[in-house]
Structure 1
């Protein structure tokens, strides 16, 4: 949508509007003249006596003056109502009835002297109303034909002819800058078979999609159904397979209503396909322990850490301290919370969790009461090549944060772990398992609520399968999958952060809390459906499992209990504590790839 460049453009637009309103009045006046002449012609058996012409002229003058007076009184010519809208049509009928009444009253008193029958005004009324409506309809058709997107716009099918679908089609057809040109609607409701929305017809049902795509040459399918379930999305995915049509999903209705002309549609996300319903945690009922407290979050610039900052901020902590070594990530998080990224306040702290002295100074100075530890290295392949980095960050870095928290008398500490720590087979898994164990050890030493939280793959987080597949598809492929049978657990970033917050409320010192994430999902199925939704022909290449990588992930390790005392979807597992003074890098490196029974220091068993 263009914006006027100055006073001149504003004056031009205002002049055009005034000109159109006056031209509309002139057209309405012409409609009355034609209607009155036609009424006289019909009233006198289709014979027009020249002697009646003066009376016709006087009656037309009365009608035109009345139209102007009544129309002005009801703001018909002041641009108050949308042109061609229902409200304008209703007002037009009211004004026409009023004008007809005035002309009829005039004829009752002066009809004999004018030589015009007293019922002429009543006869003219339906014709005047019809002609005025027809003029407006033709004008609206002209405006809409000029406002439609150009031929370069993507030919788009809309799935769903309900309220959302109607709103989108109307908006597309009235925006010449729209990149989408609606060519048809699809709806499974038989009652909508012959429906048309702004001249766009309902062409059929979902099973007719292949034939409809071929007939319309559509390249985009837009799902315009609010809160569509995953089963229906999968059905659509199967229907478009091989049709080379891109599938998009509408944003929430509130975004469409408040997004101005810039709202857009998103591509289908994994959560739309896998059908896992987020666990209803009701975190707002148990997050009282952060309200009015000083809360510190490590890794605040990462995917989990930044969302955690946003959610914690909603619970009105006394102070939110965001710590990270990535200054760009910190700035992005600050912008998402405060709307500005000046990085000049005390809410952002630039530090590395490997620096024990710096952490102790920060903790003793800021005195946090609640700590969420999200900082970590998490890429499996890189850590397999550089295990010492996992030791320095995931183990010693966690120990540094724990010791600083102990010095500052932190009352609640939540360590964010991973499902790879259950029966670990990779450097990442082993390092996070040790982090869980030293967290449990410090909980024993302090008697405070120091807990860990373990969950699976987080949809949309950096390094997860979703952005990887999206980027590979965007670049034309191939999409890489480790193994055709590989499965993983999935959860959303907000859901993961809700679990983290809840862990600080219901966890007992030394426990690992684990969310029931439902059934695991086959990675190949996700890749195939994402490719189908993209409308592209993309190859899938199997790369094989990486060293130590599992075919199927686990959430609960061997020997860990699965008690659920407080929430039916959250397990509380007790793990053995590990005294960090008995750890050494060499021993950890030497033992991490041995069988599970001997893959940890003796003190960890």
Structure 2
């Protein structure tokens, strides 16, 4: 049953859903004024404030009854008055995700659902005709307090530079385009193998920054000649390499394609950057490269190794700086578990979880890209990383079963009653839990909050090139056993959980 229908029934019966507002600022005042002049579904029965100073006052006759940490007592008092609120509505514009999660849990324990008002800043200079309540997104719960971005440092990196972004139409690539386009680059080259994704990101950039010089180019990173031609023609100063095949089960089912894209695609882009005197090359990597159990993970670790080896060859100020940034899952990205759960919820369930104890690290797309840019600027200022890589601080891992239950409750349903959760079993290549760092990497805190510096095992360019040439030969002849033997050699910690993968005899 869709409980949202109850609101319409209440409205038809000339009743209003009693709500408790969280926050006593301008948004709360505007909302109360708005529902008084419109045919609203709501009536505000009380307010809780984020400060004690306003407790005891009222807004348009509605009492500020306590502070946010007194919600349970306020709800009990209102219940005794016969007007127990059915919903919490957050009116605060800046509300930390950790506090939002606590508020969500409080509301759940009191049998209430939770929603929020849009930010007044979303409306720029025009106030809305109607203050529409919107649901709390799972991103509101899983995000962390945002690290303050050093915009001046990042702008020094981007301003006046010619940029090239591979995988520009993907989740990370598109967010990179959004953020760097506001930092006054001289030119942006968008590269993607998907015509549709490239069209979408190009149109978005044209709409947001019509005067910014740009070029949208179709190109597959596996095509060495095409990539080199793009670099010669576009002459980028900075390259963000975000193109990759990232879905673990799909790459397990398409092993040669995954290796061709993630390893040799990276090599093609890195070599083109080096030969065209690109100043800085930033590689987007993944926590799945740590103690990999999947082809996707091991392919990204080999790509890391190649860029590390190139960085170790770095000998002068005119050489390319190679910077690798590693992080975990991005909320809401294409094919992510959050997107899957949303689709399953819209279909009425069930939600599918591969293992009850499965955990993952999560970060919002915006936060991930901000820290990538921060790490890139930091890497240039460091003046050479000597094979070290940047690792974004992902906070605490999230249990996927808890995420599923939270998303069900956010949709106003009851887990296991309205929407079932089905355990489907771990898929090929999947880990029960992810690791952002290898046990031997000895991370140290950088001088930028939210960014760690790790020191993974390195190999020389000569060593890795020899193994990669053998890997290329095995790939060309589709010699799967030879491919896996070389992956085991390149990444000894690779331990596939797919029983169909040939097992290594390399110790």
Q: For structure 2, list consecutive stretches of 5 or more residues without a partner in the other structure.
A: 1-10, 380-384, 496-502
- Report the equivalent of 1:528: 405
- Report the equivalent of 2:394: 517
Deviates more, 1:288-297 or 1:435-444: 435-444
- Report the equivalent of 2:90: 223
- Report the equivalent of 1:457: 329
Q: 1:559 to 1:236 in 2, by over 3 A?
A: closer
Distance in 1, matches of 2:249 and 2:139, equals 25
Greater RCO structure (CA 8 Å; 6+ sep): 2
Candidates 427, 431, 437, aligned match of 2:305: 437
Per-residue displacement from partner, 1:403-459 (whole Å, max 9, x unpaired)? 222232212101100000011111110111111112223334454311211001112
Q: 1:406 to 1:597 in 2, by over 3 A?
A: closer
- Report the equivalent of 2:141: 273
Deviates more, 1:287-296 or 1:536-545: 536-545
Distance in 1, matches of 2:352 and 2:386, equals 41
Displacement of 1:270 in angstroms is: 3.2
2:444 paired with 1:563: yes
- Report the equivalent of 1:171: 34
TM-score (norm 2): 0.78
Q: 1:357 to 1:264 in 2, by over 3 A?
A: farther
- Report the equivalent of 1:72: none
5 Å-filtered alignment, 1:576-591, equals: 576-577=458-459, 578-579=464-465, 580-584=468-472, 585=475, 586=480, 587-590=482-485
Secondary structure of residue in 1 paired with 2:455: strand
- Asked whether the 8 Å contact 2:327–2:368 carries over to 1, the reply is yes
Deviates more, 1:471-480 or 1:384-393: 471-480
- Asked whether the 8 Å contact 2:326–2:389 carries over to 1, the reply is yes
Candidates 233, 236, 243, aligned match of 1:375: 243
Displacement of 1:183 in angstroms is: 5.0
Distance in 2, matches of 1:337 and 1:263, equals 29
Q: For structure 1, list consecutive stretches of 5 or more residues without a partner in the other structure.
A: 1-148
Candidates 288, 308, 311, aligned match of 2:176: 308
Candidates 486, 492, 495, aligned match of 1:597: 492
Q: 1:377 to 1:368 in 2, by over 3 A?
A: same
5 Å-filtered alignment, 1:261-340, equals: 261=129, 264-274=132-142, 276-339=144-207
Secondary structure of residue in 1 paired with 2:355: coil
- Report the equivalent of 2:42: 181
- Report the equivalent of 1:16: none
Candidates 140, 159, 164, aligned match of 2:21: 159
- Asked whether the 8 Å contact 2:440–2:456 carries over to 1, the reply is no
Deviates more, 1:250-259 or 1:514-523: 250-259
Displacement of 1:312 in angstroms is: 1.2
Candidates 411, 421, 425, aligned match of 1:540: 421
CA RMSD of aligned residues (A): 3.6
Displacement of 1:244 in angstroms is: 7.0
Distance in 1, matches of 2:428 and 2:370, equals 32
Displacement of 1:307 in angstroms is: 1.1
Determine which structure has more spread, i.e. the larger CA radius of gyration: 1
Distance in 2, matches of 1:194 and 1:565, equals 46
Distance in 2, matches of 1:157 and 1:565, equals 45
Distance in 1, matches of 2:288 and 2:56, equals 55
Displacement of 1:278 in angstroms is: 2.8
Per-residue displacement from partner, 1:574-605 (whole Å, max 9, x unpaired)? 44242233433343335658996364999x99
- Report the equivalent of 2:498: none
- Asked whether the 8 Å contact 1:234–1:273 carries over to 2, the reply is yes
- Asked whether the 8 Å contact 2:327–2:392 carries over to 1, the reply is yes
| Number of corresponding residues | 453
Q: 1:331 to 1:218 in 2, by over 3 A?
A: farther
